[in-house]
Amino acid sequence: MTLSSEAPADVPTRITVGASAGYAPYDVLVGRRLLAELPGLVGKEARRVAVLHPEALAETGEVLRQDLADQGYEAIAVQVPNAEEAKTAEVAAYCWTALGQTGFTRTDVIVGVGGGATTDLAGFVAASWLRGVRWIAVPTTVLGMVDAAVGGKTGINTAEGKNLVGAFHPPAGVLCDLAALESLPLHDYVSGLAEVIKAGFIADPRILELVEADPEAARTPAGPHTAELIERSIRVKAEVVASDLKESGLREILNYGHTLAHAIEKNERYAWRHGAAVSVGMVFAAELGRIAGRLDDATADRHRAVLGSVGLPITYRGDQWPRLLETMRIDKKSRGDRLRFIVLDGLARPAVLESPDPAMLLAAHAEIAA
Ligand SMILES: NC(=O)c1ccc[n+]([C@@H]2O[C@H](COP(=O)([O-])OP(=O)(O)OC[C@H]3O[C@@H](n4cnc5c(N)ncnc54)[C@H](O)[C@@H]3O)[C@@H](O)[C@H]2O)c1
Ligand SMILES: O=C(O)C(=O)C[C@@H](O)[C@H](O)[C@H](O)COP(=O)(O)O
Ligand SMILES: [Zn+2]
């Protein structure tokens, strides 16, 4: 991965996430060679900086740490496991120990560099350390850039399920250096496209058109529309979280496809990437919408077509339904015994489906069962 702190080649795109729920606004920068921006975001009040990075980005973590040390900060690198293995209470506790041993105070700053799993953990450690310190996200996956690093949902998993412990704690800034995507394995790149396509279905159909125009190109960072796809998706997310940071209503639309997705991830013991599970979850939600008489056939079918065209999965093994249903009951959108799903009433018209009939759920499941 080639992150460098040289001056930016071009002016980056700046997307501001507006203030919400008493939290300050912040900028998401998208461009190349953005690391020169990092010290400015860390600020002068901080004395110590902890750079949390996954094993796969050990070199990058050290580049950032050295860069911050050169700027006069007492900078430490904290290596955490790759992917979902980082989102555990044990790893969070390991990070707290590192901060404690470094004498981290309330004015010090955490930098999370990596995919969504790393930034979810870094944000959670920042939210919980001393009841909240500033943090900066440097997402290095498509999914991290378009979704996880933006909006302040931070958290870890428990044995019972995905993201069950966490906090709303927005970052002070987000640096999306597109050069980072060049070292991302294809499987991870494609997984991130599920959240891009989600933004297309719930809010910005132009995203779907760009993917459909050349699905093969959409699968690589060198594609002609890479920056536009990422920026459009960030704008969707930024707009939603600025109006409903704490998910008291509108923000639930970002959970499109996630009710089933999180159950699949848990069922697969996190061997499936989040985006892959979200892909199947969106096909399920589309079928649910169609069966409920809310979504037209063409838009429901478009899910399979566009997700499949970039190589995302659109089916899941059919023998697991009772387990999936059980896990879905503790989805955060559930209220008491009532399951709630985000469905579409049409393209870019997300809405809530309350307590669907079990027969409807079963019928939608039959449509995704392999
Ligand atoms: N907080 C939110 O709003 C939000 C939104 C969407 C997803 N998420 C979470 O994000 C996580 C998924 O994130 P993800 O898809 O980025 O996966 P990930 O963080 O698991 O990263 C995938 C793999 O790629 C490696 N990696 C990261 N960047 C790399 C790079 N540039 N080059 C080479 N390897 C690299 C990682 O170490 C990991 O092994 C899930 O835990 C999901 O729940 C959170
Ligand atoms: O930001 C949100 O809100 C989302 O729902 C975005 C999702 O893509 C993301 O996977 C999120 O972590 C899911 O949150 P959860 O509250 O369902 O755990
Ligand atoms: Zn997601």
Task: For residues 130 and 191, state if they share a domain.
Answer: no
Q: Measure the CA–CA gap between 209 and 202, rounded to whole angstroms.
A: 14
Residue 361: its pLDDT value, please?
Answer: 97
Q: Which residues are 341's β-sheet partners?
A: 353
Question: Same structural domain for residues 85 and 149?
Answer: yes
Answer with the one of 183, 211, 236 that is the final residue of a domain: 183
Q: How many domains does the chain have?
A: 2
Q: What is the pLDDT of residue 6?
A: 52
Instruction: Verify that 88 and 234 share a domain, yes or no.
Output: no
Given 274, 304, 340, 365, which residue is catalytic? 274
pLDDT per residue rounded down to tens, the chain (370 residues): 455 545 445 799 999 999 999 999 999 999 999 989 999 999 999 999 999 999 999 999 999 999 999 999 999 999 999 999 999 999 999 999 999 999 999 999 999 999 999 999 999 999 999 999 999 999 999 999 999 999 999 999 999 999 999 999 999 999 999 999 999 999 999 999 999 999 999 999 999 999 999 999 999 999 999 999 999 999 999 999 999 999 999 999 999 999 999 999 999 999 999 999 999 999 999 999 999 999 999 999 999 999 999 999 999 999 999 999 999 999 888 999 899 999 999 999 999 999 999 999 999 999 999 9
Residue 6 belongs to a domain: no
Coil, strand or helix at 305: helix
> Residue 247: nearest ligand to its CA?
2
* Atom nearest to 123 CA in ligand 1: 1
> Is 258 annotated as ligand-binding?
yes
pLDDT of residue 196: 99
Round to whole Å and give the CA distance between 328 and 315: 17
Confirm whether 131 is a catalytic residue.
yes
Cβ(119)–Cβ(93) under 8 Å? no
Q: Among 183, 205, 222, where does a domain finish?
A: 183
140 is in an annotated binding site: yes
The verdict on 175 and 215 lying in the same domain is no
Whether residue 47 sits in one domain with residue 25: yes
- Asked if the structure places residue 3 within a domain, the reply is no
Are residues 170 and 197 located together in one domain of the fold? no
Task: Identify whether 124 is part of a domain.
Answer: yes
Tell whether 141 is in a known binding site. Answer: yes
Which of 167, 183, 199 is where one domain is finished?
183
Q: Which of 121, 147, 272 to mutate to test the pocket of ligand 2 (most atoms within 8 A of CB)?
A: 147
Kindly state whether residues 171 and 207 are assigned to the same domain.
no
Q: Element (H or E) spanning 155, and its range?
A: strand 153-158
CATH number of the domain bearing residue 44:
3.40.50.1970
Q: Are residues 55 and 102 both part of a single domain? A: yes
- Same-domain check for residues 43 and 110: yes
One domain for residues 211 and 117: no
Residue 5 lies in a domain: no
CATH at 298: 1.20.1090.10
Q: Active site includes 251?
A: yes
Q: Is 119 flagged in the annotation as binding? A: yes
pLDDT, position 48: 98
Q: What pLDDT does residue 10 have?
A: 75
> Does 40 map to a domain?
yes
> In terms of residues, how long is the chain?
370
Euclidean distance between CA atoms 185 and 79, whole angstroms: 20
Domain shared by 192 and 178, yes or no: no
Structure tokens belonging to residue 271:
């061997």
Atom of ligand 2 nearest to the CA of 120: 12
Q: Would residue 18 count as lying in a domain?
A: yes
Q: Residue 4 falls within a domain, yes or no? A: no
Ligand 2 centroid to Cα of residue 265, in Å, is 13
Tell me which residue of 185, 124, 119, 121 sits closest to 146, measured CA to CA: 119
Ligand nearest to the backbone CA of 259 = 2
Task: Determine the structural domain holding residue 232 and report its residue range.
Answer: 186-368
Residues whose CB is less than 8 angstroms from the CB of residue 55 and which lie 6 or more positions away in sequence, other chains included: 79, 80, 81, 82
- Closest ligand 1 atom, residue 154 Cα: 1
pLDDT value at residue 9: 54
- Report CA(46)–ligand 3 centroid distance (Å): 32
Q: Is the ipTM of this complex over 0.85?
A: yes
Beta bridge partners of 166: 155
What the block records as the tokens of 19 is 């203030």
Whether 8 is in a domain gets the answer: no
* 121 & 214 share domain: no
